[in-house]
Amino acid sequence: MRSSDTIKKILLTLILAAGIFATLSSKTYYLWNLLIIPELDYNSFEKSVRYGDLYRMSRVTAFKEDIPYPPPELIYNSVDESDIISAGDSFFLLPINGLKFAAALEKYSGKKIYDATQFDVEYGKRPAAMLTIKGFNRDKEKIFILECVERYSHERAKTKYLASVNEVVFKYLYLDANILSLSSAEEWLQRSVILRTPLEFKADAYFKFFRRLPEISSIYTLNPPMLFYNEDRDYAGIKPDSVYIEETANSLKKLSVLLKEKYNLVLLYVVIPNKYSLYGEYVNPDFKYNNYIPALTESLRSKGVHTFDTYTLLKENSNNELLYYRSDTHFNEKGRDLLVKECANMISLISGESEKSK
Amino acid sequence: MVFSSLSFLIFIMVFFPLFFLSGKRLRPAVLMSASLFFYMHVRTFYIIVTIIWIFVNYFILFRLYAAVNSGCVNSRRKKFYFAAGLCFNILALIVFKYDYFLTDNANALLHAIKPSISLPYVNLLVPLGISFITFKSISFLIEVYNGNYKNKIGLFNYSQYILFFPGVLAGPIDRPAKLMPQLENLNRDFDSADFRKGLGFILMGLFQKAVIADRISLLISGGLNNPRNSTGAELLLFVLLYSVQIYCDFAGYSNMAIGAAKLFGIDIMQNFDRPYFAKSISEFWRKWHISLSSWLRDYLFLPLAFRYTRKFTEKSFSVKNIDRYSYVIAVLVTMLIAGVWHGAGWTFIVWGLLLAFYMIFGFYTKKIRRRIFKKIGFGQNSPLKSFIQISVNFILITFAWIFFRAQDLSSALITIRKILYIPFGNYSPGAEHQTIFSFEMIIAIVLVLAYFTIEYLQYSGREINKSINSMPAVLRYSFYFFAVCFILIAGYFSTIQFIYAQF
């Protein structure tokens, strides 16, 4: 064999070894932890602080916020023993510190909750599909809390919640083996000490010279230092007219009827305001909220769907305190508490109505 | 998996050396594994639909191949299988891709008749790269039907052709005659020249995507998503930059696809040939997304213009104008399908029809324009004439992109109205809004100008690649090193998807 061929083979083997190491690092706990920066990692319990999702995307030091991180308390009730089922997206997996939404609600309301969100956020996108799979006992009436962030509320209500074919498709989604995902290897590289210095240096330099952040979290204010998700800002540009509101409300009404008839569940719909809807004026003094949540609440109530005006609740009860993390898209403990209390009130109301009707 | 992501780098670091280190017999399996991995990386479910799709297509193709090669030229069987193949692909594409669009429009109609009636959305998970897979499948059917592809077709190699990872998500839509023989013969040894060329294409693609396209995307997305919040002058700059963004985004993707294939020793077709230096819309369409435009030309436009519409127009129009009318109908149908292929929405339909209008207008005014240029005194190769033609062409294309980019027709019309009538509004945009006077905007414009200067040099015959290759090794590798550093420092490596991956 010629020496040049041997050199080529050695080089190819080295490249292969590096690629395999990066892939395995994202799949095995020990390798993952070997080079990772714990506070940038949601999966790691090693550090007592965490950083917000928007900071983890931007990596600009000016927006760094140390969030204390006690280990999360999760609830493990079975579907049958629970009074309430909750499903939602990332807001129900938060806040970063303290009790998760469902755990806090269980503590506050004294009712047992089956929190589907902690198993898969897909449940919150396709509730009907989840309920088919779970096949719980429908003899006892339960409350179904469906949470959705404001920016996805219309689209999910219109196209996802009621799509019947998803009940079949949904089962196949579980064939998605994470083992094929390289995004975890990418995440590992980005959160590892290998890329920490160059990534943070570049992010800081870009911010210093251009006042520019990565697209996904490019909206910011420096007083107070706060990051916003781009989709939030884009959603603020939408002017929800009566057709838009009615489309959402009608779909949710249909879902509410379906849940009651098929599963004996009473729907409580909780739409969480975008961070930009609450704090847009920090970024743009001329910002005016598009009034989506109050208008939707009114329409849903007129159709007999249980919900409450989360926007007005948070806006009027903040006591000049921030209810969302500065460096994260989601609410903090204070925001969670306000919503949990109102949710508990609604649950009492719904339970009272059910008792009366019996 | 985005080509400009770390995921793709890791993917290549595993499969590229594995391909050459494995024995020659194992290479087809390694390449197939790479393609399957690439495809299944996002959602495993996609592959189930795609495998069914491949099986059905292969069955039809196999029967068609047998019918074509049975010796009977106009056999019914041949026509039946060809029609079945076309129907299957087109119907599947409609069901998967146009569900929302068709249901929305049907509901709007039903609502006008009886407000309580509405159709539900089927809401299927759309397999990745469905438009490209469909066109590849149809391409194979047509080539076999016309007798242009005569080699035996095995299921494994056919699947390899459909799923070949560099082009599966957003093309190029390679023809079977070019790609199949290469996929059937993967015996070549690792070639460092191919490796260098492949890396060169990937670097060029990265530059176009990360340094130009994504930089521009950050600057203009907010403004174009909410045209109400921008002045006309801002929107004018944004749409001009969008023309550059979509070109660099897609050309960047294509170059990275070509580079990735080259690493494995496989040549796939060029997709762009400096389209903004075209002097007419027809020429632009020949230089833009070449694999799609040549597909549409060969399989749709030419058969329509020279075969089918001739029969149709003989009855409808005077024989004297037959070729003109054939051309008009063929262009309208082709560009309408091109528009619909890009997306299920009225904006894409308007975009396609607008391009068709340009081409028809150009066709009818060809002689007049020639006479005007002659009267002014422009020669055949006058630089000023070329400059005017290229500039007018660019403006027309940019105007059409407004519809392509807009989220709906009303946003497109607001953008146009503001550009034409309200160039300097008194809107106070606030800190979240990208103004046209920012330092970064200036940097972006300088980079764009620098990039098009390089393209102009290539357009006017300078062979930059050759100049680089003829440098002494030390200089050449220093150049590569600085190019990589520049891309890493100046590029945006975020999660911005390739625009064409959504089609």
Taking a C-beta distance cutoff of 8 angstroms, is the pair B7, A185 a contact?
yes
Amino acid in the structure at residue B399:
F
Higher pLDDT, B111 or B158: B158
Q: Tell me which chain B residue has its CA closest to the CA of residue A24.
A: B10
Calpha distance B61→B138 (Å, rounded) = 10
- A65-69, A74-78, B78-82, B301-305: least confidently modelled range: A74-78
Question: Which residues of chain B make contact with A212, given a CB cutoff of 8 A?
Answer: 218, 440
Question: Which residues of chain A make contact with B214, given a CB cutoff of 8 A?
Answer: 215
The strand ranges marked E within B441-494 are: none
What Rg value do the Cα atoms of chain B yield, rounded? 24
The pLDDT tens digits of the residues spanning A180-194 come to 666 667 777 777 777
A293 has a pLDDT exceeding 60: yes
- Pairwise CB contact (< 8 Å): A159 & B121: yes
Calpha distance B177→B148 (Å, rounded) = 8
Distance from CA of B17 to the nearest CA of A (A): 5
Taking a C-beta distance cutoff of 8 angstroms, is the pair A344, A109 a contact?
yes
Output the pLDDT for position A169: 54
Calpha distance B396→A246 (Å, rounded) = 39
- Pairwise CB contact (< 8 Å): A172 & B190: no
Question: Which residues of chain A make contact with B7, given a CB cutoff of 8 A?
Answer: 182-183, 185-186
Calpha distance A226→A279 (Å, rounded) = 9
Q: Cβ of B26: how many Cβ atoms within 10 Å? A: 14
Higher pLDDT, A252 or B2: A252
Pairs across A and B, CB distance < 8 A: 132
Taking a C-beta distance cutoff of 8 angstroms, is the pair A144, A268 a contact?
yes
Question: Which residues of chain A make contact with B5, given a CB cutoff of 8 A?
Answer: 186
The pLDDT of B50-78, averaged and rounded, is 86
Higher pLDDT, A164 or B395: B395
Higher pLDDT, B321 or B245: B245
ipTM computed for the complex: 0.70
The pLDDT of B89-116, averaged and rounded, is 80
- Both structure tokens of B110: 């039903």
A268 has a pLDDT exceeding 90: yes
Calpha distance B307→A61 (Å, rounded) = 66
Nearest to B239 by CA among B416, B393, B407, B410: B416
Calpha distance B259→B142 (Å, rounded) = 28
Output the pLDDT for position B260: 94
User: What sections of B343-365 are H helices per DSSP?
Assistant: 346-364
Distance from CA of A223 to the nearest CA of B (A): 12
Question: Hey, is B486 helix, strand or coil?
Answer: helix
Q: Is A211 exposed, middle or buried (0-12, 13-18, 19+ CB in 10 A)?
A: middle
The pLDDT tens digits of the residues spanning A7-52 come to 888 888 998 888 888 777 766 766 666 676 666 665 555 557 788 8
- Pairwise CB contact (< 8 Å): A190 & B6: yes
Q: In the sheet that A265-272 helps form, which strands lie side by side, from edge to edge?
A: A113-115, A84-87, A142-149, A265-272, A306-307
- Pairwise CB contact (< 8 Å): A182 & B1: yes
Output the pLDDT for position B429: 44
Q: Is B400 exposed, middle or buried (0-12, 13-18, 19+ CB in 10 A)?
A: buried
Q: Cβ of B461: how many Cβ atoms within 10 Å? A: 6
The pLDDT of A68-89, averaged and rounded, is 81
- Pairwise CB contact (< 8 Å): B225 & A181: no
A259 has a pLDDT exceeding 80: yes
Output the pLDDT for position B501: 53
DSSP B198-262: HHHHHHHHHIIIIIIIHHHHHHHHHHHH-GGGS-HHHHHHHHHHHHHHHHHHHHHHHHHHHHHHH
CA atoms within 13 A on the CB side of A202: 19
- Pairwise CB contact (< 8 Å): A23 & B10: yes
β-partners of residue A271 are A148
* Average pLDDT value for chain A: 82
Calpha distance B84→A163 (Å, rounded) = 30
For chain A, the first-to-last Cα distance in angstroms comes to 88
A282 has a pLDDT exceeding 50: yes
Among candidates B44, B218, B428 on the partner chain, residue whose Cβ is nearest the Cβ of A176:
B44
Q: Cβ of B467: how many Cβ atoms within 10 Å? A: 10
Task: Determine phi and psi for A48, rounding to 5 degrees.
Answer: -95, 5
Calpha distance B94→B500 (Å, rounded) = 18
The pLDDT of A153-161, averaged and rounded, is 86
B391 has a pLDDT exceeding 70: yes
β-partners of residue A228 are A219
A271 has a pLDDT exceeding 80: yes
Output the pLDDT for position B356: 94
Taking a C-beta distance cutoff of 8 angstroms, is the pair A213, A227 a contact?
yes
Distance from CA of A306 to the nearest CA of B (A): 22
Among candidates A172, A212, A234 on the partner chain, residue whose Cβ is nearest the Cβ of B225:
A234
Residue of A212, A238, A239, A286 to mutate for B, most B C-beta atoms under 10 A: A212
- Pairwise CB contact (< 8 Å): B7 & A182: yes
Among candidates B7, B121, B443 on the partner chain, residue whose Cβ is nearest the Cβ of A185:
B7
Higher pLDDT, B95 or B28: B28
User: What sections of B2-129 are H helices per DSSP?
Assistant: 6-21, 27-40, 44-68, 76-97, 99-113
Nearest to A91 by CA among A244, A239, A310, A317: A310
- Pairwise CB contact (< 8 Å): A237 & B433: no
Q: Tell me which chain A residue has its CA closest to the CA of residue B432.
A: A219
B77 has a pLDDT exceeding 70: yes
Among candidates A176, A210, A233 on the partner chain, residue whose Cβ is nearest the Cβ of B432:
A233
The pLDDT tens digits of the residues spanning B307-357 come to 766 665 555 545 455 577 888 888 999 999 999 888 778 899 999 999 999
- A74-78, A182-186, B379-383, B458-462: least confidently modelled range: A182-186
A318 has a pLDDT exceeding 90: no
- Pairwise CB contact (< 8 Å): B6 & A189: yes
The pLDDT of B460-473, averaged and rounded, is 82
Output the pLDDT for position B258: 95
Output the pLDDT for position B465: 78
Q: A329: which DSSP letter?
A: S
Output the pLDDT for position B476: 85
Higher pLDDT, B243 or A48: B243
The pLDDT of B396-404, averaged and rounded, is 95
Residue of B7, B48, B190, B434 to mutate for A, most A C-beta atoms under 10 A: B7
Q: How distant is the alpha carbon of residue A330 from its chain centre?
A: 7
Output the pLDDT for position B249: 92
Structural domains of chain A, ranges and CATH numbers in brackets = 84-176+232-357 (3.40.50.1110)
Question: Which residues of chain B make contact with A22, given a CB cutoff of 8 A?
Answer: 10, 13
| Residue at token pair 């689209």 | A155
Output the pLDDT for position B425: 58
Q: Does residue B172 have a cis peptide bond before it, meaning omega lies within 30 degrees of 0?
A: yes
Among candidates A16, A172, A180 on the partner chain, residue whose Cβ is nearest the Cβ of B40:
A180
Output the pLDDT for position B335: 93
Taking a C-beta distance cutoff of 8 angstroms, is the pair A101, A91 a contact?
yes
| Residue at token pair 């070449």 | B290
Distance from CA of B438 to the nearest CA of A (A): 8
- Pairwise CB contact (< 8 Å): A165 & B124: yes
The pLDDT tens digits of the residues spanning B414-456 come to 999 988 876 665 544 444 445 566 777 888 899 999 999 999 9
With pLDDT > 90 as the criterion, what percentage of chain B qualifies? 41
Taking a C-beta distance cutoff of 8 angstroms, is the pair A68, A49 a contact?
yes
Output the pLDDT for position B500: 53
Question: Hey, is A142 helix, strand or coil?
Answer: strand
* Average pLDDT value for chain B: 85
Higher pLDDT, A246 or B502: A246
Among candidates A176, A215, A221 on the partner chain, residue whose Cβ is nearest the Cβ of B431:
A221
Distance from CA of B69 to the nearest CA of A (A): 40
- Both structure tokens of A348: 């009492």
Q: How distant is the alpha carbon of residue B320 from its chain centre?
A: 37
CA atoms within 13 A on the CB side of B322: 13
Q: pLDDT confidence of A291, banded at 50, 70, 90?
A: very high
Question: Which residues of chain A make contact with B484, given a CB cutoff of 8 A?
Answer: none
Q: pLDDT confidence of B103, banded at 50, 70, 90?
A: confident
| Residue at token pair 């998996």 | B1
Residue of B13, B95, B101, B486 to mutate for A, most A C-beta atoms under 10 A: B13
Distance from CA of B10 to the nearest CA of A (A): 5
Q: Tell me which chain B residue has its CA closest to the CA of residue A162.
A: B120
CA atoms within 13 A on the CB side of A132: 16
Taking a C-beta distance cutoff of 8 angstroms, is the pair A316, A258 a contact?
no
Question: Which residues of chain B make contact with A234, given a CB cutoff of 8 A?
Answer: 222, 225-226
Q: pLDDT confidence of B222, banded at 50, 70, 90?
A: confident
- Pairwise CB contact (< 8 Å): B218 & A173: no
A257 has a pLDDT exceeding 70: yes
Q: pLDDT confidence of B34, banded at 50, 70, 90?
A: very high
- B11-20, B42-51, B207-216: least confidently modelled range: B42-51
What Rg value do the Cα atoms of chain A yield, rounded? 23
Output the pLDDT for position A205: 86
Taking a C-beta distance cutoff of 8 angstroms, is the pair B36, B163 a contact?
yes
Output the pLDDT for position B432: 42
Nearest to B419 by CA among B214, B223, B248, B286: B223
Distance from CA of A186 to the nearest CA of B (A): 5
- Both structure tokens of B63: 């029967």
Output the pLDDT for position B42: 67
A102 has a pLDDT exceeding 60: yes
- Both structure tokens of A61: 């030091």
Output the pLDDT for position A183: 66
- Pairwise CB contact (< 8 Å): B17 & A287: no
Question: Which residues of chain B make contact with A122, given a CB cutoff of 8 A?
Answer: none
Output the pLDDT for position B452: 93
